[in-house]
């Protein structure tokens, strides 16, 4: 939901707000328009690449 400047992305915000009316309180993560991402390398490789 945030860009690299830590600002909310307007399109994703709008999509989330649109989906809130259909939110299942037992699974609120399902309303988020973007899937969570998981690192598949060690933290040092990620740190070296992005710092």
pLDDT of residue 8: 93
Task: Give dist(CA 27, CA 16) in Å, integer.
Answer: 14
**Residues 2-45: tens digit of each pLDDT:** 889 999 999 989 988 998 898 999 988 888 877 777 778 788 88
Alpha-helical runs (H) found in the chain: 10-19, 43-50
pLDDT of residue 5: 93
């Amino acid at each position: 939901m945030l860009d690299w400047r830590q600002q909310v992305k307007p399109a994703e915000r709008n999509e989330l707000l649109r989906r809130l009316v259909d939110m299942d309180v037992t699974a609120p993560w399902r309303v988020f328009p973007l899937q969570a991402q998981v690192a598949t390398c060690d933290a040092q490789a990620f740190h070296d690449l992005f710092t």
